[in-house]
Amino acid sequence: MGVVNVTPDSFSDGGEWFEPADAVAHGLRLLEQGADLLDVGGESTRPGAERPTEQEELRRVLPVVAELSRLGARVSVDTMRAEVAAQALQAGASVVNDVSGGLADPGMAAVVAGSGARYVAMHWRAHSTDMQSRASYDDVVLDVCRELTGRVEDLCARGVRREQIVLDPGFGFAKLAAHSWRLLAHLDRVQALGFPVLVGTSRKSFLGRLGVPEGSPPRPAAERDAATAATTVIAGLAGAWGVRVHHVPSSLDALRVVAAMEAAR
């Protein structure tokens, strides 16, 4: 899953693809590099980010979703809003990637159920402005798995079919670095819930702190692709359904390594 951020303030590439034509061109490059799915998002979810209005989010994503779909791309819309999801699906998207898992907008389940689209439900506790204050767990793996199971039960009660659902443990969302590392080390526990799993570690801050002295700032986001590729190997070995990445070639090579190794067993 290649990331197409149509935002001015995303943590890794805010503003770089903000104009629709630039976002479409970037998406096509990701396809050429081997992406299977393009994840188009118009709302930054970095810690502290303020939400755009619904109309602004629609203005950002719909032209990009429509044009990439017209050109034959398989498109995911990265949104927490039911109306944005509905209009993006009408414009050609086939996957809804909701970092709130349906908690941010109670109308999301009905949209997804009615469309039959794949639905990525991420572990989430609060919006970006408040999420890091919620990073408290008794056992992060157990707690995340329990909360994801609760989301599945609620979504299915609202008409979403189990076969539509993909789960995402939410690396970096209401999680400290130690929480993200523990989840990565126990992806098998998330897989054991019985659903496809999406891993979204790309360029996250916990990777930027690797090898950095205590008290120093993390490495810039664009310098975290090698570490991201290493996490892609872990995701591949765990049998993840997908990896959401900014730099496709390095993660594609990582998955090729996993596939070649598995074929040689």
- Where in the sequence numbering do the catalytic residues fall? 204, 244
Whether the CB-CB separation of 78 and 99 falls below 8 Å is answered with yes
- Token code pair at residue 67: 């044009």
- Enter the DSSP assignment of 130: T
- Enter the DSSP assignment of 147: H
Determine the Cα angle at 6 with ends 160 and 48, to 5°: 80
Beta strands of 50-172 (E only): which ranges?
A: 75-78, 95-98, 118-122, 165-168
Q: Give Cα 155 distance to the centre of its chain.
A: 18
Beta strands of 214-255 (E only): which ranges?
A: 242-243
One-letter amino acid for residue 103 of the chain:
L
Q: What's the order of all strands across the beta sheet hosting 118-122?
A: 2-5, 38-41, 75-78, 95-98, 118-122, 165-168
